[in-house]
Amino acid sequence: MIQISKPNIGQEEIRAVNQVLASGMLSQGVVTEELEKKFAEYCGTKYAVAVNSGTAAIHAALFAMGIGKGDEVVTTPFTFIATISPIVMLGAKVVFADIGENDFNIDPKEIEKKITNKTKAIVPVDLYGKTADYENIEAVASKNNLKILEDACQAVGAVRSGRKTGSFGNASAFSFYATKNIMCGEGGIITTNEKETYEQCRVFRHHGESLQKKGEYKNIGYNYRTTDLLASIALEQLKKVDEFNRKRRENAFLLSEGLKDIKGISVPGVTSSPEHVYNLFTIRVLEDFKTTREKLRDFLEEKGIKCGIYYSTPLHLQPAFKNLGYKKGDFPIAEKLANEVLSLPVHPLLSKNDIKYIIQTIRGYEK
């Protein structure tokens, strides 16, 4: 079976974990600090705060940016639920804006239509590993005095106009979950250039305890700490991520070249661009393809190729958010793409033969 993702663990990670085990310091300590320092350097930001998931990173960052009751936060309906659940947890209102058809990311023009006097922040997502349109999103934010939290959970290492993910907006959130481009099983990290945001994230991570006065709690926080065991894995992965991403891009290029002329299949464009780090390689199965997306997926899985549908239901149509009052037809592009997307394996451990096999299998589909 060719998996849709596969952890890429070498001797370096194993050695690093063993060192932490032998050190006796298993919870958050010096290795976590080292990860924060190196990760901030990698992104070109002043600060980073490591936490125990990408969801925790989004939650802490939005808290640190002051998002709370009565505020509106504009975001995309075409993402993983964890982009928006922290907005709800903080008591703020989720306001969706539709995505662009070309890159699956939030459309800056749609953001502008959704701004009211209660809007406080925008949460764009770098979906599948491709950066959102930050030139225009930052222009909308500065014109309207809004904060930006970049959900870069799928996009570590992507570069847009010379800037890396992690450096867009006021803060960025990353995930180290097992399927992400840097992974340690579970984990996350926030990057920012703002001292205040950095400090508030650290406070929120550790029960709301004041940084100045131990034992004093000005507000309630969570236990969102990570452990040095996991940080040691992420630290080794960080050293390798540029090579991982180079391999992902190369695989994406080969897949695109092999699939682009098939009638009814649309492949992601500009595959050599550093804007995209291909956490997922997502094609669109259009109406004029030989069969439906679901039948193609079942066929590929029968042939030993694991595929994924990210995401089959846009968030505005999820039962959990019924109370937001959205209905079918509200975000036509997100709804259309949700019916067309199919993600194929693209991870760095694929061989040239695996890629050839994926291409041949799709080309050979017969009704």
Q: How many C-beta atoms lie closer than 10 Å to residue 356's C-beta?
A: 12
**How many chain residues interact with ligand PLP (CB under 6 A)?**
14
What are the φ and ψ backbone dihedral angles of 284, each rounded to 5 degrees? -115, 130
Rounded CA separation 326/33 (Å): 43
Instruction: Name the closest residue to ligand PLP (Cβ).
Output: 54
| Binding-site member from 45, 76, 79, 181 for ligand PLP (CB under 6 A) | 79
In order, the DSSP letters of 217-267 are BSS---B----HHHHHHHHHHHHHHHHHHHHHHHHHHHHHHHHTTSTTEE-
156 touches 175 (CB < 8 A): no
Residue 189 binds ligand PLP (CB under 6 A) = no
Separation of alpha carbons 207 and 179, rounded Å: 28
Shortest approach of ligand PLP to residue 153 CB, angstroms?
3
Q: Does 153 bind ligand PLP (CB under 6 A)?
A: yes
* Near ligand PLP by CB under 6 A: residue from 50, 54, 168, 342: 54
- Asked if residue 86 binds ligand PLP (CB under 6 A), the reply is no
Q: Using the rule CB under 6 A, which residue among 39, 96, 168, 177 binds ligand PLP?
A: 177
Judged by CB under 6 A, does residue 166 bind ligand PLP? no
CA distance 278 to 346: 7
- What's 100's DSSP letter? P
Closer CB to ligand PLP, 185 or 332, in the complex: 185
Q: Which is nearer to ligand PLP, 79 or 200 (CB)?
A: 79
The answer to whether 251 contacts ligand PLP (rule: CB under 6 A) is no
Candidates 77, 157, 166, 188: give the one binding ligand PLP (CB under 6 A). 188
**Does 224 interact with ligand PLP (rule: CB under 6 A)?**
no
Q: Does 124 bind ligand PLP (CB under 6 A)?
A: no
CA–CA distance from 292 to each of 256, 263, 264, 338, 346 (Å)?
Answer: 20, 13, 10, 13, 22
Reading the block at residue 294, the tokens are: 């679901």
Residues that bind ligand PLP (CB under 6 A): 53-55, 79-80, 82-83, 125, 151, 153-154, 175, 177, 188
